Amino acid sequence: MSATSYQSPWVNDEVRSFRTTVRQFIDREFAPHQGRWRQQHRPDAGAWTTAGGAGILLTDVPKEYGGGGGTFAHQAVVLEELAHAGIQFGSSIHSLVAHFILAYGTEAQKRTWLPGMARGTLVGAIAMSEPGAGSDLHGLKTTACRDGDDYVINGSKTFITNGSHARIVCLAAKTDVKAAGPKGISLIIVEAKDLPGYRVGPPLEKVGMHGQDTCELFFDDVRVPASSLLGPAEGRGLFQMMEKMGYERLAIGVAAVATAEQAVAITTKYVKERMAFGKPLIDFQNTRFKLAECRTEARVARVFLDRCIERVLAGQLDDVTTAMAKYWLTDCECRIVDECVQLHGGYGYMADYPIARMWTDSRVHRIYAGTNEILKELIASSL
């Protein structure tokens, strides 16, 4: 097998054919609108229903709930294709919400919310982080107090992906303000359409990921039915988050490796075309060695990621290995993308060059879904 013909072992014919469908969909429906998405700081609302119609959403949710009936392999293909195209679309957070509902929801909750999420008529968001509590969720201040058959929610959330389009907000809130430690936190699904007291802030000005919808959410005496609680009892929220965040961490690892591979590919093309001192940049030993290093690191990353995907498909991926994947793959991605920016020279710093956007977009991979430092703590706890 040549170095270029490496095949991920989890990609079979059916997954390969799904990849073709996804790639064509992204080229046709998403890529032409990227300039506008970046300007308006979010995808078009219609992008969600178009994606739902094409079977790109909830690919790994059972068909009985409207999903694609596939596996994490299908989800990985969507993430890889979005990353290759450099498109920010919060479908992995959307999927994560669906997996919270799938894991902890009642049958009625699954049937109420999942089909609309699969169609893209209900967009999902996860609302955990607050201005004063990101890594340390014990510090949450948002409360959901029981009042008759309702919860009354007060507080605010920040950095919420899909915030402005979200209709299904998976909210982490304190249901017991007196409980010490994690026991006071619960997850509640907030159906956000036309909800009195619920307000979405303007898009946050990020340094990258300009096309992704990231907002603050405000809750001012918001009432939701008590039946919106996820799980059999209050106080399980932090445990539920710890159990399910692995899904998002692996998803970020998938996007990280796909981005690193794409960075190497576009940079290789660039240095073959760009001339300096009368020859293409690729003829300089430094260029060749830097790209050789990047390509090697990307391959090492790919092999580890593929092993993680195989294990998740077999139901055997543990949290510590998932943390290793998210931490190491995103650090590796940032190293590679940064080298590739350098090999582009000044053009690598120009916003209309894909490598420059990769540089600003990828940086946050080391920060969200558990910072890489928090993940090292998790890994260290297994020593």
Ligand X SMILES: Cc1cc2nc3c(=O)[nH]c(=O)nc-3n(C[C@H](O)[C@H](O)[C@H](O)COP(=O)(O)OP(=O)(O)OC[C@H]3O[C@@H](n4cnc5c(N)ncnc54)[C@H](O)[C@@H]3O)c2cc1C
- Per CB under 6 A, 367 contacts ligand X: yes
Binding of residue 159 to ligand X (CB under 6 A):
yes
Residue 93 lies near ligand X (rule: CB under 6 A): yes
**How far is 11 from 30, CA to CA, in rounded Å?**
24
Of these, 128, 187, 229, 238, which contacts ligand X (CB under 6 A)?
128
Closest distance of CB 194 from ligand X, Å: 22
In angstroms, the CA 254 to CA 80 distance is: 6
Residue 309 in contact with ligand X, rule: CB under 6 A: no
Q: Is 241 in the site for ligand X (CB under 6 A)?
A: no
Does position 377 bind ligand X by CB under 6 A?
Answer: yes
Q: What number of chain residues touch ligand X (CB under 6 A)? A: 20
C-alpha distances (whole Å) from 247 to each of 81, 109, 160 are 18, 21, 17
What residues are paired with 215 via a beta bridge?
A: 160
Which of 8, 214, 287, 322 binds ligand X (CB under 6 A)? It is 214
Q: Is 209 in the site for ligand X (CB under 6 A)?
A: yes
Residue 232 is which amino acid? P
Cβ-Cβ contacts under 8 Å for 300 (sequence gap 6 or more): 332
Asked if 88 interacts with ligand X (CB under 6 A), we say no
* Strand ranges (E), the chain: 123-127, 143-147, 150-161, 166-174, 185-191, 198-200, 214-225, 275-276, 279-280
Q: Give the interface segment with ligand X, choosing from 8-16, 121-129, 145-153, 349-357 (CB under 6 A).
A: 121-129
Length of the chain equals 383
CB of 59 to ligand X, least distance (A): 20
Cβ atoms 171, 189 nearer than 8 A: yes
| Active-site residue, 339 included | no
Annotated catalytic residues are: 248
Give residues in contact with ligand X (CB under 6 A): 93, 126-129, 134-135, 159-161, 206, 209, 214, 364, 367-368, 371, 373-374, 377
